[in-house]
């Protein structure tokens, strides 16, 4: 009876990361079937095996993720909202991430100083756990005025500040296990009737109070800022019928804060891990960064970073080999006939797109377990299937903050690599095993690196 209730979720939350779960089905069925049907608890789910099906995002742009606006405003965000509720947000929020806006944000992002923290590790402790340092860095960038919320967390100097503590707790102390979250998604209607919340009351209260206080302060003092929070306030105070509710503002604030610092920190730690494992690539990238900066009088400018083509390849290969999310969730919004078959996925069918499996498919990436930046040379990209790289999704529900996130990561790599060299510490477990309890990829035991200063 217990196995029937679990369905194909056996191992998830115990020893299998969700990306590895879907990879098992992908490897077993590729070439034999365009999709595979599995059960998450007693809920049927279709996993796409044929990469050509994934292009048709218009037929299944909803994510089918559980949210409960009444009791848990943090769940009411851009990633989870369906249909018309979702359509309003990308067009109104996307101006935050234009090239012009990114240039404006850039000078603010540069104010976050990571060098002093790394110098301390290099001189005193000689080793560091990457995730913590990168989380402190990304938290400070997210909070800076002109970027997202207009407050300074100063996490690199004060690790006990409330924003860092609360943000980390979302992942270290989640409301539900990974397996329970899958079950919650499968029975969304019942979960809402039972008024179940995805997040703990402490976390909900923290973000709700922050948003309420920020809105009240800016309206009372007639203060307007050119940041993400200001766009949300305008959508909330608008006289339009489809204006954002207060809870929806809380939801967008939460997801931008959490996704912005956690996903970026995860990418950075894997990037430095790969560089430590591949010293030749690390030295080449450091040389490339310094060579490009000489063209810009040693200044780290927006234009200089755009000129760092090898850095692009390094970041993309990190995202290929270690994607932050192992799979994408979708739900059909129309009946969908699978091309070349008589099979119809009825409206409301849950879908999973196996990102991790596709990124580790030797058809698209020869020797996929090897870290190889040449996978993203111009020629390699041109000759590869366009859907074979999906770290942030694709189609209308791709992440709208990709530019910000990638810039965030590049700044972290430059700041961490220009004056420091990294080698693998014996504290790092080899081979890396992904923790099963997190949706955002995290290695068991963390990543520890030895650090030393370079001239």
Q: Which residues are annotated as a binding site for heme?
A: 399
Q: Which residues pair with 421 in a beta bridge?
A: 452
Q: Output the known binding site.
A: 399
Q: Which helix (H) or strand (E) holds 350?
A: strand 350-353
DSSP string, 380-436: HHHTS-TTS--TT--GGGS-TTHHHHHHHHHHHHHHHHSSEEEEE-TTS-SS--B-T
* DSSP E strands, 269-331: 328-331
Euclidean distance between CA atoms 418 and 395, whole angstroms: 36
Distance (Å, whole) CA 184 – CA 198 = 9
Q: Any residues with CB less than 8 A from the CB of 272 and at least 6 apart, and which?
A: 130, 134, 413, 416, 417, 422, 447, 449
Give the Cα separation of 351 and 80 in Å (integer). 14
**Closest to 389 in 3D by CA, of 365, 417, 372, 411:** 365
Distance of CA 357 to the CA centre of its chain: 17
Cα 50 to Cα 54, 311, 320, 330, 363: the distances in Å are 7, 31, 18, 15, 12
The backbone torsions φ and ψ at residue 40, rounded to the nearest 5 degrees and listed phi first, read: -105, 105
The kind and range of the H/E element at 272 are helix 246-277
* Alpha-helical runs (H) found in 38-129: 83-93, 99-109, 115-120
C-beta neighbour count of 180 within 10 angstroms: 16
Q: Residue 367: left (phi > 0), alpha (psi -120 to 50), or beta?
A: left
């Amino acid at each position: 009876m217990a196995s029937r209730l679990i369905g194909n979720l056996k191992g998830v939350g115990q020893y299998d990361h969700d990306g590895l779960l879907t990879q098992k089905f992908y490897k077993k069925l590729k070439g034999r079937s365009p999709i595979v049907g599995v059960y998450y608890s007693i809920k049927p789910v279709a996993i796409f095996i044929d990469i050509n099906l994934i292009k048709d995002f218009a037929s299944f742009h909803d994510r089918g993720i559980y949210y409960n606006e009444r009791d848990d405003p943090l769940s009411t965000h851009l990633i989870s909202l369906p249909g018309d509720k979702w359509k309003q947000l990308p067009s109104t929020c996307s101006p935050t991430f234009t090239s012009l806006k990114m240039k404006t944000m850039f000078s603010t992002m540069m104010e976050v100083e990571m060098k002093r923290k790394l110098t301390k590790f290099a001189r005193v402790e000689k080793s560091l756990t990457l995730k913590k340092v990168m989380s402190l860095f990304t938290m400070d960038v997210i909070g800076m005025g002109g970027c997202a919320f207009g407050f300074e967390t100063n996490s690199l100097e004060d690790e006990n500040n409330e924003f860092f503590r609360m943000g980390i707790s979302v992942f270290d102390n989640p409301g539900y296990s990974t397996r329970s979250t899958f079950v919650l998604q499968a029975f969304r209607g019942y979960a809402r009737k039972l008024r179940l919340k995805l997040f703990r009351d402490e976390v909900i209260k923290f973000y709700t109070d922050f948003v309420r206080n920020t809105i009240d302060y800016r309206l009372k003092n007639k203060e307007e800022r050119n940041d993400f929070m200001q766009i949300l306030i305008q959508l909330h105070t608008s006289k339009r019928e489809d204006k954002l509710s207060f809870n929806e503002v809380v939801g967008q604030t939460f997801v931008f804060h959490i996704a912005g610092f956690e996903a970026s920190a995860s990418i950075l730690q894997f990037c430095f891990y790969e560089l430590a494992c591949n010293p030749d690539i690390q030295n080449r990238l450091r040389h490339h960064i310094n060579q490009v900066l000489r063209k810009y009088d040693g200044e780290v400018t927006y234009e200089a970073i755009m000129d760092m083509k090898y850095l692009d390849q390094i970041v993309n290969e990190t995202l290929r080999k270690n994607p932050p999310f192992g799979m994408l969730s979708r739900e059909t919004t129309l009946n969908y006939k699978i091309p070349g078959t008589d099979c119809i996925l009825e409206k409301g069918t849950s879908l999973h797109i196996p990102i991790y499996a596709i990124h580790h498919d030797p058809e698209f990436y020869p020797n996929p377990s090897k870290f190889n930046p040449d996978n993203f040379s111009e020629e390699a990209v041109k000759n590869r299937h366009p859907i074979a790289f999906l770290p942030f999704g694709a189609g209308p529900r791709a992440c709208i903050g990709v530019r910000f996130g990638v810039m965030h990561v590049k700044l972290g790599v430059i700041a961490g690599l220009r004056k420091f060299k990294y080698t693998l510490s014996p504290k790092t477990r080899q081979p890396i095993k992904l923790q099963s309890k997190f949706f955002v990829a995290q290695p068991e035991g963390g990543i520890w690196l030895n650090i030393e200063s370079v001239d």
